[in-house]
Amino acid sequence: MEVLIYLVPMALLLGLSGLAAFMWSLKSGQYDDVQGAAVRVLSDDDVRK
Amino acid sequence: MTEALDLSIFVKRQDDGTSHLDLAIEGIDCAACIDEIEGGLCRLPGIVDARLNYTNHRLAVEWRDGTLSPAQVVDEVQRLGYRAHPFRSRLVEEEETRRAQWLLKCLAVAGFASMNIMLLAVSVWSGNVTDITPETRDFFHWLAALIALPAVAYAGQPFFQSAMNALRNRRTNMDVPIVIGVLLALTVSVAETINSAEHTYFDSVVMLLFFLLCGRYLDQAMRRKTRAVASNLASFRAEVAHRVEDNGEVVLVPTAALKAGDRVLVRPGERIAVDGLVISGSSELDESLVTGETAHRAVRADSHVYAGSMNFNGTLTLLVTAAGKGTLLDEVERLLENAAAAKSRYVRLADRVAKVYAPVVHTAAAVTALTWIANGSSVHDALITAIAVLIITCPCALALAVPVVQVVASGALFRAGVFLNTGDVFERLAKVDTIVFDKTGTLTLPTMSVINARDIEPALLEAASRLALSSHHPLAAAVAQIGQDRRPYDDVIEEPGRGVRAIVDGREMRLGSPTFCDAVFLAQKATSDAPNASVIAFSWADKQAALLVRQALRPDAVAVVADLRERGFDCRILSGDRPEAVAPIARALDIASWRGGCKPADKIEALDALKAEGRRVLMVGDGLNDAPALAAAHVSLSPISAADLTQAHADAVFLGDRLKPVQDTIEISRRAHRLMRQNLSIALVYNLIAVPLAFLGYVTPLVAALAMSGSSTIVTLNALRARGRTPAMPQAKPIPSRVVPAAQGA
């Protein structure tokens, strides 16, 4: 069972990185326009000239 | 509008040499609009960025200073086929957005914590019945504590703050038992971990917070969505005024840019955007949005005028006064203060339940502890069992019971075109038994329409309507709505105070006052049938017609009022208009108890009398004079065309030309209230089963987790039924449609 000593913290670390990613996406405004994001993916000229 | 609008007050100058403008866009209906607007704007020279938020239909534009004027941006959007309205986000809305983000962060932390702790807890539960070693279990418990303590400290903040606020005001709300339960469960779990015991409750605590935060966040999101749409609508209506500069120049500015002491020019046919004092000029005003009175008031120098009045025939120069300087506004504000104070005494259903619930739960826990000690158990065991009682009764389902229904029901109302200002509307609406309507602008449409269109030769009517397109007179606007042909005639001459004329096919055409059109006799004959209507005459060569114009009933008013009466509501009218003008409306709607000529104080008095009879009154009104009555009534509604102050005091605002939303609102609220009560009883039944089990000591953390998630799920699923069959959303923009003059009602 010694394997738990590093497996459990690793699992926690993975979870924390997921949480951090969510916090980052929230902060960078990715949830401000949820409906817009859903339809923008369909437009093919999103690269500004 | 040919004049350029001075929008500079909406522009934010940024440090990096760019300017920023927020616009609310009207007319977005598909995904392609995003590209069209953003792409179109980016082709303008100087634009740095244009980003459309498709969720709330707002456009943020940035350009390099000095390359563009904000009016050019607005014009460009207009050219692309949309209407853009400068928008200044209100402080309340920014505050709500920040709060929503904060709740989402708390939710994420609670979600992360509950998933990871559950991972550990399930291992312990399965290990307890198999072969887990005490060392491994302790390790897992310590890990759980390590996750739970900071997670609760962070994600529990919304509840801690709310409970502290309640306690500071010497009240109790649902958050008080939640906080007590959470803190006790955490303390005991930590103590148990130190004593390397078998059971801890870390998983229950964070799961509880997770569920509760879900409810809070949904509630918040719904209200934010409503508020965003409402403030977009407000900016669509945002008015402009002609400000007279010191050098005598006239500039078109948004009303928001006006300050007390500015001078403003108001031309015939314009709505007055500010409160003010007439400096020069004389005219007649239609103050129906202010007082409900449909007869016009003559004003000259030194008269006070109120925002929302329509200027009819003369040009006025006004001195802008600060709000609240007029006698009428003073009275309205004084009444409002009293009325609002009376209303805040209403206690919400959830708070009423919490008031009883908290002491009962805490007594039950205390009784449990005492009973166990009396029966000879150790203090430790007695405490653990008492804590189990507290945890199992922690009002998870109870705290979700009301908000989840509110979220679902306000979504249903949103689709029906009704926006809520306050959250507890449902409970108050469900109890309503008397409905008091204001007449002008509520039962009738806020705009004028021609009522005798059927009696007039169609060709003549069509011609009159085309000619009316060139007039600025408010009565002409009603005539202009009738015709199919929207092309104005060429070379139309407007004679101020008399009417418009043009030569069409070699013959002269006139629209205006009866004398101007040589139709005095015809006009007298027409008005003898309908004494309250205004008359506008039309002549084309030797043919004449007299058109009667007045505010028509909302198209479905008769049907809605009849239906409401059938369902046992007592419908009444309290109007600020003259009794002669109210009587025909009351007759058309078959309403027996009505009063005309009511001052704001009279309306409140009438409502108080109804209250004294034990009735619960729903007040529906739009005028500035209705604002105190709306605040005083048990619950209130107002149409979107209402005066700003009035809308602010209504519990809900409805869109469109129809009265049906009133009926829908009551129906949805009744359904919502029924579901709230059902949910509360589900939660109570759950407690009746769970508390005895906890009392007897059968509640292990596993049972607590199952019971908590089970009851929350049932309550949430039940709340989803509040959606029901919802009517289609009326068009967001009330099109001034050609209203069928309802049974000659208005």
SS3 per-residue string spanning B9-50: HHCEECCCCEEEEEEEEECCCCCHHHHHHHHHHHCCCCEEEE
Q: Has residue B8 got a pLDDT over 60?
A: yes
Domain membership flag for residue B436: yes
Per-residue pLDDT averaged across A14-39, rounded?
89
| CB contact (8 A) between residue A11 and residue B116 | yes
Helices (H), B696-734: 701-719
Instruction: Give the residue among B726, B676, B686, B688 at the shortest CA–CA distance from B708.
Output: B686
Residues B532 and B621 both lie in one domain: no
Domain membership flag for residue B731: no
The per-residue pLDDT for B456 is 81
Q: Could you give the strand order of the β-sheet that contains B617-620, starting from the edge strand earlier in sequence?
A: B418-420, B652-654, B635-639, B617-620, B434-437, B570-574, B594-595
| CB contact (8 A) between residue A36 and residue B34 | yes
Helices (H), B613-736: 627-632, 644-649, 660-695, 701-719
Number of H helices, E strands in chain B: 23, 27
| Mutate: best of A10, A14, A43, partner B, most B CBs <10 A | A43
CATH number reported for the structural domain that contains residue B453 in this entry: 3.40.1110.10
The per-residue pLDDT for B729 is 42
CATH number reported for the structural domain that contains residue B276 in this entry: 2.70.150.10
Residue B109 half-sphere exposure toward CB, CA atoms < 13 A: 19
| CB contact (8 A) between residue B105 and residue A23 | yes
The per-residue pLDDT for B156 is 94
Per-residue pLDDT averaged across B489-512, rounded?
82
- Per the structure block, which two tokens stand in for B34? 């995003």
Per-residue pLDDT averaged across B191-196, rounded?
90
> Per residue in B647-699, pLDDT tens?
777 888 888 888 888 998 999 889 988 988 888 888 888 888 888 888 888 88
Q: Which of B87, B118, B147 is the last residue of a domain?
A: B87
| CB contact (8 A) between residue A36 and residue B55 | yes
- DSSP E strand boundaries for B381-516: 418-420, 434-437, 444-450, 493-495, 499-504, 507-512
| CB contact (8 A) between residue B108 and residue A15 | no
Instruction: Give the span between the Cα atoms of B628 and B453, in whole angstroms.
Output: 37
B contact residues 277-336, partner A, Cβ 8 Å cutoff: none
Residues B503 and B570 both lie in one domain: no
Which residues of chain A does B42 touch, with a Cβ-Cβ cutoff of 8 Å? 48
Residues B112 and B209 both lie in one domain: yes
| CB contact (8 A) between residue B31 and residue A43 | yes
The per-residue pLDDT for B237 is 66
Per-residue pLDDT averaged across B735-744, rounded?
37
Q: Could you give the strand order of the β-sheet that contains B310-311, starting from the edge strand earlier in sequence?
A: B297-299, B283-286, B310-311
Residues B219 and B154 both lie in one domain: yes
**Among A37-41, B321-325, B633-637, which is the least confidently predicted range?**
B321-325
**Among B120-124, B268-272, B526-530, B726-730, which is the least confidently predicted range?**
B726-730
Which residues of chain A does B115 touch, with a Cβ-Cβ cutoff of 8 Å? 15
Percent of chain B at pLDDT above 70?
Answer: 91
Q: Has residue B712 got a pLDDT over 80?
A: yes
Hey, is the C-beta of B244 within 8 angstroms of any chain A C-beta? no
CB B235 within 8 A of CB B87: yes
Q: Has residue A46 got a pLDDT over 70?
A: no
pTM over 0.80: no
Instruction: Give the residue among B111, B574, B177 at the shortest CA–CA distance from B361.
Output: B177
| CB contact (8 A) between residue B133 and residue A1 | yes
Which residues of chain A does B56 touch, with a Cβ-Cβ cutoff of 8 Å? 33
Q: Has residue B2 got a pLDDT over 50?
A: no
| CB contact (8 A) between residue B112 and residue A16 | yes
Residues B131 and B214 both lie in one domain: yes
Per-residue pLDDT averaged across B408-422, rounded?
82
Hey, is the C-beta of B122 within 8 angstroms of any chain A C-beta? no
Instruction: Give the residue among B551, B549, B586, B560 at the shortest CA–CA distance from B658.
Output: B560
| CB contact (8 A) between residue B147 and residue A12 | yes
Per-residue pLDDT averaged across B101-111, rounded?
94
- Per the structure block, which two tokens stand in for B695? 């009392």
Q: Has residue B466 got a pLDDT over 70?
A: yes
Residues B549 and B568 both lie in one domain: no
Instruction: Give the span between the Cα atoms of B187 and B495, in whole angstroms.
Output: 84
CA distance B210 to chain A (A): 14
The per-residue pLDDT for B271 is 78
| CB contact (8 A) between residue A26 and residue B101 | yes
Residue B302 known to be catalytic: no
| CB contact (8 A) between residue A23 and residue B136 | no
Residues B429 and B572 both lie in one domain: yes
CATH number reported for the structural domain that contains residue B35 in this entry: 3.30.70.100
Question: Which one-letter DSSP state was computed for residue B271?
Answer: B
Report the residue from B55, B109, B136 with minimal CB separation from A34.
Answer: B55
Residues B431 and B580 both lie in one domain: yes
Hey, is the C-beta of A43 within 8 angstroms of any chain B C-beta? yes
The per-residue pLDDT for B328 is 61
CA distance B430 to chain A (A): 33
The per-residue pLDDT for B157 is 94
From the candidates B438, B577, B622, B657, give the one annotated as an active-site residue. B438
Q: How many C-beta atoms lie closer than 10 Å to residue B28's C-beta?
A: 17
| Mutate: best of B94, B143, B146, B217, partner A, most A CBs <10 A | B143
ipTM: 0.89
Residues B117 and B212 both lie in one domain: yes
Q: Has residue B51 got a pLDDT over 80?
A: yes
The per-residue pLDDT for B577 is 82
Instruction: Give the span between the Cα atoms of A17 and B12, in whole angstroms.
Output: 37
Q: Domains in chain B: how many in total?
A: 5
The per-residue pLDDT for B112 is 94
Q: Which residue has the higher pLDDT, B61 or B533?
A: B61
Domain membership flag for residue B17: yes
Domain membership flag for residue B390: no
The per-residue pLDDT for B480 is 81
- Per the structure block, which two tokens stand in for B361? 């739960």
The per-residue pLDDT for B1 is 40
Domain membership flag for residue B206: yes
Q: Which residue has the higher pLDDT, B502 or B726?
A: B502
Which residues of chain B does A11 touch, with a Cβ-Cβ cutoff of 8 Å? 116, 119
Per-residue pLDDT averaged across B531-553, rounded?
81
CB B201 within 8 A of CB B389: no
Q: For residue B142, what pLDDT band results from cuts at 50, 70 and 90?
A: very high
CB B545 within 8 A of CB B522: yes
Secondary structure of chain B: what % helix, strand, coil (to 5)?
A: 50, 20, 30
Hey, is the C-beta of B187 within 8 angstroms of any chain A C-beta? no
CA distance A1 to chain B (A): 8
Q: What is the largest CA-CA distance in chain A?
A: 58
Hey, is the C-beta of A44 within 8 angstroms of any chain B C-beta? no
Domain membership flag for residue B405: no
Report the residue from A4, A33, A48 with minimal CB separation from B53.
Answer: A33
The per-residue pLDDT for B730 is 42
A contact residues 5-24, partner B, Cβ 8 Å cutoff: 8, 11-12, 15-16, 18-19, 22-23
Report the residue from A8, A18, A32 with minimal CB separation from B53.
Answer: A32
Residues B433 and B582 both lie in one domain: yes
Q: Which residue of B has its CA nearest to A28?
A: B101
Domain residues for B118? Answer: 95-225
CATH number reported for the structural domain that contains residue B610 in this entry: 3.40.50.1000
Residues B320 and B428 both lie in one domain: no
Report the residue from B52, B120, B147 with minimal CB separation from A36.
Answer: B52
Q: Has residue B388 got a pLDDT over 90?
A: no
Instruction: Give the residue among B157, B158, B143 at the shortest CA–CA distance from B189.
Output: B143
Q: Which of B200, B225, B250 is the last residue of a domain?
A: B225
Q: Has residue B382 got a pLDDT over 60?
A: yes
Q: Has residue B154 got a pLDDT over 90?
A: yes
Percent of chain A at pLDDT above 70?
Answer: 86
Mean confidence (pLDDT) of chain B: 81
Which residues of chain B does A28 touch, with a Cβ-Cβ cutoff of 8 Å? none
Q: Which of B608, B632, B666 is the last residue of a domain?
A: B666
Domain membership flag for residue B698: no
Q: Which residue has the higher pLDDT, B738 or B354?
A: B354
Q: For residue B524, what pLDDT band results from cuts at 50, 70 and 90?
A: confident
Residues B57 and B138 both lie in one domain: no
Report the residue from B31, B112, B119 with minimal CB separation from A19.
Answer: B112
Which residue reads 């609240």 in tokens?
Answer: B324
Instruction: Give the span between the Cα atoms of B624 and B328, in whole angstroms.
Output: 9
The per-residue pLDDT for B114 is 92
Q: For residue B735, what pLDDT band results from cuts at 50, 70 and 90?
A: very low
CA distance A3 to chain B (A): 11
- Per the structure block, which two tokens stand in for B566? 């059938």
Domain membership flag for residue B105: yes
B contact residues 74-113, partner A, Cβ 8 Å cutoff: 101, 104-105, 108-109, 112
Instruction: Give the span between the Cα atoms of B440 and B460, in whole angstroms.
Output: 30
> Per residue in B598-611, pLDDT tens?
888 888 888 889 98
Q: For residue B113, what pLDDT band results from cuts at 50, 70 and 90?
A: very high
